[in-house]
Structures are given as structure tokens and as C-alpha cells.
């Protein structure tokens, strides 16, 4: 049996990306500003990390309007959820 560290996801090793994905894992979708405020990062930091996660196929970014106000919604893809679940399981094994 291989060590659980082999199941860890490199992309989720980054603390901001891990926090963002952990938040999105509990959400069906979340507003960009909600994630930014709760993870306590700047717009540019979150945008950069979201680009990396979106390019890797972990996160879906969709834009819409509420009235005349633009809103950006973030959600995990099915693949992103599976990878996060695997990463979390590996962490649990290491922690136990």
C-alpha cells in the first residue's frame, strides 16, 4: 500500500487555493466577493489563484448580473470535487 502523500494534489498544496477550494466544496456556488472577503485575500490574489484552478479544470467561473450590478460566481467542477475529496482523504490518513 502506498503512502497517502501520493494521493495529495499538488495544486491544492497552496494555502490560498486550498482555502478557496475547501469553501467552494461546501457551496453549490459562491460569489467572488464572498470568497475574497472570507479567505481574506485581495481581488488580484484571488483572481490569480482562480485562473490557475480554472485552467486545471477544478473551478468554473460564471458571470451574471443582479439588476445592473455585475456578479462573478465561482463553483467547483465535478473533477474539482473528486480531486478535493481525494486530497482530503489523504490528509485524514496522514492525520490519523
Partner 1 sequence: MSEMQPSPPEPSRAVAVAALAEAERRESQVRRAADVQLAWILGVLVAAVLVIAGLMSAAFHVVGPVVLGVYLLAIVLVALVLIRIRVYSRRGLQIFALSASAFTIWNALGAAVSVATGWWGPSAPTYHLGLTEVVTVLPLLVGVWLLLRRRS
Can you give the binding site for partner 1, defined by CB under 8 A?
2-3, 5-6, 8, 10, 18-19, 22-23, 25-31, 33-34, 38-39, 66-67, 88, 91-92, 94-95
Strand partners of residue 70? 65
The CB-of-54 to partner 1 minimum distance in angstroms stands at: 18
89 to 3, 36, 46, 64, 80: CA distances (angstroms): 12, 26, 25, 34, 14
Q: Which residues pair with 76 in a beta bridge?
A: 59
Nearest residue (CB) to partner 1, 57 versus 92: 92
In the bound state with partner 1, the residue whose beta carbon lies nearer, of 30 and 53, is: 30
Report, in Å, the least distance between residue 56 CB and partner 1: 17
Q: Which of 51, 58, 48 is nearest to 24 (CA)?
A: 58
- CB neighbours of 38 closer than 8 A, spacing ≥ 6? 23
Instruction: Give me the least distance between CB of 29 and partner 1, in Å please.
Output: 6
Least separation in angstroms between CB 57 and partner 1: 19
Amino acid at each position: 500500500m502506498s503512502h497517502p502523500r501520493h494521493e495529495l494534489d499538488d495544486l491544492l498544496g497552496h494555502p490560498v487555493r486550498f482555502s478557496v477550494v475547501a469553501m467552494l466544496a461546501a457551496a453549490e456556488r459562491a460569489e467572488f466577493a464572498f470568497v475574497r472577503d472570507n479567505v481574506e485575500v485581495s481581488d488580484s490574489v484571488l483572481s490569480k489563484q482562480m485562473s490557475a484552478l480554472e485552467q486545471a479544470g477544478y473551478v468554473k467561473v460564471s458571470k451574471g448580473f443582479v439588476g445592473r450590478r455585475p456578479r462573478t460566481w465561482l463553483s467547483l467542477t465535478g473533477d474539482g470535487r473528486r480531486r478535493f475529496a481525494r486530497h482530503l482523504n489523504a490528509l485524514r490518513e496522514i492525520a490519523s
